[in-house]
Amino acid sequence: MIRSTPQDDNSAFLPGAKSLARKLTRFMPLTDDDLRMLDTLPISEERFPADTDIIGEGMQPRSVFLLQEGMAVRYRCLADGRRQIMTFLLPGDLCNPHMFLLKTMDHSIGTLTPVRIAALSRERLVGVFATHPRVSAALWWTSLQEQAMLHEHIVSLGRRDAKERIAFLLCELLWRYDAMGLAEDGMYSLPLTQTELGDAVGLTPVHVNRVLRDFRTQGLILMKHRMLKVLDVEGLQEVASFSKDYLHFDGASAEVLNYLNRLEA
Amino acid sequence: MIRSTPQDDNSAFLPGAKSLARKLTRFMPLTDDDLRMLDTLPISEERFPADTDIIGEGMQPRSVFLLQEGMAVRYRCLADGRRQIMTFLLPGDLCNPHMFLLKTMDHSIGTLTPVRIAALSRERLVGVFATHPRVSAALWWTSLQEQAMLHEHIVSLGRRDAKERIAFLLCELLWRYDAMGLAEDGMYSLPLTQTELGDAVGLTPVHVNRVLRDFRTQGLILMKHRMLKVLDVEGLQEVASFSKDYLHFDGASAEVLNYLNRLEA
DNA sequence: CGCCACGTTGAATTCAGTCAAAGAGCGTGG
DNA sequence: CCACGCTCTTTGACTGAATTCAACGTGGCG
């Protein structure tokens, strides 16, 4: 059965900091103490409707927050209206561990769907870095992962053609959702208009449409009710020469794990 | 007078961690103690010739290092030889504070010129984060700045045309060099072939050539001996709608400075 | 001096953009 | 329940920015 977003079944509803915990454990196992600490971070919950700015360019960065439910994007607009989406924010994504150091936001964060976020205590977050090296390492890992995604995005826009770009994005989202347990059998929520997709991959909505049609007629994907089903994962990955190595779901190096374990003892 | 890189006058030769200190003080003033600490970080110095990989994709990340002199790039190659440069590394750039968490590099770092780097002690660096909140904040700031540059790079490749992209890059480099005291009167070292420039802005060398010619005939720039002189900074910035806000050279927010000062006392 | 990589220019090609119009889906309100 | 209006999707024809291919300059270095 297919549902439209926001999902109101509990598969996407992760109270406390569970979505963050889920994400961090993709990098390394966390102790019960680590998990308890994570659960003390959220201090309030906020909801935003779809197509709203959570925070806009030029504003002063407010609290660090965690996306719990829904989909959001980092984006920037040029003076003449051209728009570019830099990042997709999915449940479990932190935003932004140390942004508060800056005077003003250099980009906006906006919702694509209704969204639920948890504001995190800045003090306790700083405390985590001091007292929980394992969580701290996992948080750093998330920022490395984000950096790697930005790198790949640059490669896509700079050197990949339209089909490769779109296939690549769809693959990235598939594996990110999968890592959070939010993709089932190649299917996940994709609540984007073709204009928004174009704003992410640097193409016009018209061209996005044509590429998606080709993918559909080739039996690679199926789109319905703002859900995407990847029918042929291998095939789609091949179009984009996609390899999920850059997402670093393979965990921390043994050396780092040993080091952190020694600190524990 | 014009010199080719690497510069062997001492304007670009900053022993110890001076280049890092110079960069960090663009964000906030550092105490003598902070500076002394920074100077204890380098444990060895290495040199690489031009067009060499400092570390390649797939390798295990080694030590954290600081670029002291010369120019390097982060880049990725696709299977068929297409190449995309993600980042330019200039003197004072740190590379990469927490990359060692990962099992393998997802991109390469290569030199464009002969380069001098300082390997930093991982332990002391971790120590800095624990004991020197002010340096720690400044280091975080550098990673935010890098993230902002990646964002702008994505905007360029996704939504700016050829002239805008190239003008934007030249402006960014101008202000980055300027911040390090390595640009004088709009002139700085640009030891790139047009192919390499194209690999950064996602264009072919032929098209890069044509755009540069236009800029030259418009009296915007002048290139000679691998140096670039921006004759009309305003004009070049206008072509790209460039604003240097995103580089965040305006320092930390008063709130953060207060907070750090209170920690000090 | 001569090599070789890099820069420069022109002509033909192509991928993606633009413009325009028609169709589908969905919520609202009569 | 259907009609309306809105936004998003889809398709076709034409345009255009950037690529490709190919040739010729040029400047630095052994």
What would the mean pLDDT of A6-16 be, rounded to a whole number? 46
What pLDDT is attached to residue A15?
57
What pLDDT is attached to residue A212?
98
Tokens representing B21 are 């200190």
A161 to chain B, closest Cα gap in Å? 11
Q: Determine, for residues B106 and A248 on separate chains, whether the beta-carbon distance falls below 8 Å.
A: yes
Q: What is the CA radius of gyration of chain A?
A: 19
Percent of chain A with pLDDT over 70: 94
CA distance A125 to A41: 7
What would the mean pLDDT of A113-118 be, rounded to a whole number? 96
- Taking 3-state DSSP, the helix, strand and coil percentages for chain A, each rounded to the nearest 5, stand at 45, 20, 35
Scan residues 142-171 of chain A and list those with Cβ within 7 Å of strand C.
Answer: 161-163
Please determine, for residue A173, whether its predicted confidence score (pLDDT) is greater than 50. Answer: yes
What pLDDT is attached to residue B8?
41
- Name the stretches of chain B with pLDDT < 70: 1-15, 265
- Going from the C-alpha of B68 to that of each of A264, B7, B27, B46, B118, the distances in angstroms are 36, 12, 19, 10, 7
CA distance B117 to B109: 12
Mean pLDDT of chain A: 91
- Residue A257 contacts B where some CB pair is shorter than 8 Å: no
Closest CA to A218 of A199, A238, A200, A203: A238
Measure CB to CB from residue A76 to each of B99, B155, B256 and give the nearest one.
Answer: B155
Please determine, for residue A252, whether its predicted confidence score (pLDDT) is greater than 60. Answer: yes
Please count the residues of chain B: 265
Please determine, for residue A50, whether its predicted confidence score (pLDDT) is greater than 50. Answer: yes
What pLDDT is attached to residue B253?
86
Q: How far is the CA of A174 from the C1' of C6 (A)?
A: 43
Please determine, for residue A4, whether its predicted confidence score (pLDDT) is greater than 60. Answer: no
Longest dimension (CA), chain B: 59
User: Which residues on A lie below 8 Å from B86 (Cβ)?
Assistant: 150-151, 154-155
Where on strand C do bases come within 7 A of a protein Cβ?
5-11, 15-20, 26
Q: Determine, for residues A154 and B250 on separate chains, whether the beta-carbon distance falls below 8 Å.
A: no
Listed by number, the residues of chain B in 10-49 with a beta carbon closer than 8 Å to a beta carbon of chain A are: none
What would the mean pLDDT of A103-113 be, rounded to a whole number? 95
CA dihedral B168, B166, B50, B103 (to 10 degrees): 60
What pLDDT is attached to residue A262?
87
- Name which residue leads in pLDDT, A256 or B99: A256
What pLDDT is attached to residue A62?
82
Task: Report the residue of A141, A159, A169 to disrupt the B interface, i.e. the one with the largest count of B CBs within 10 Å.
Answer: A159
Please determine, for residue A12, whether its predicted confidence score (pLDDT) is greater than 50. Answer: no
H helices present in B132-253, as ranges: 133-159, 162-179, 194-201, 205-217, 233-240
**Can you give the pTM of this predicted structure?**
0.93
What pLDDT is attached to residue B231?
97
When pLDDT is cut at 50, 70 and 90, the band that residue A3 belongs to is very low
What would the mean pLDDT of A102-119 be, rounded to a whole number? 95
What pLDDT is attached to residue B10?
39
What pLDDT is attached to residue A174?
98
Task: Report the residue of B102, B132, B208 to disrupt the A interface, i.e. the one with the largest count of A CBs within 10 Å.
Answer: B102
Q: How many CB atoms lie within 10 A of CB B49?
A: 10
Q: Is the CB of A212 under 7 A from strand D?
A: yes
Closest nucleotide to A207: CA versus each C1'? C16
Measure CB to CB from residue A84 to each of B141, B155, B248 and give the nearest one.
Answer: B155
Residues 6+ apart with CB under 8 A from A227: A2, A3, A4, A187, A188, A189, A190
Work out the burial of residue A40: count CB atoms within 10 Å of its CB; fewer than 13 is exposed, 13-18 middle, 19 or more buried: middle
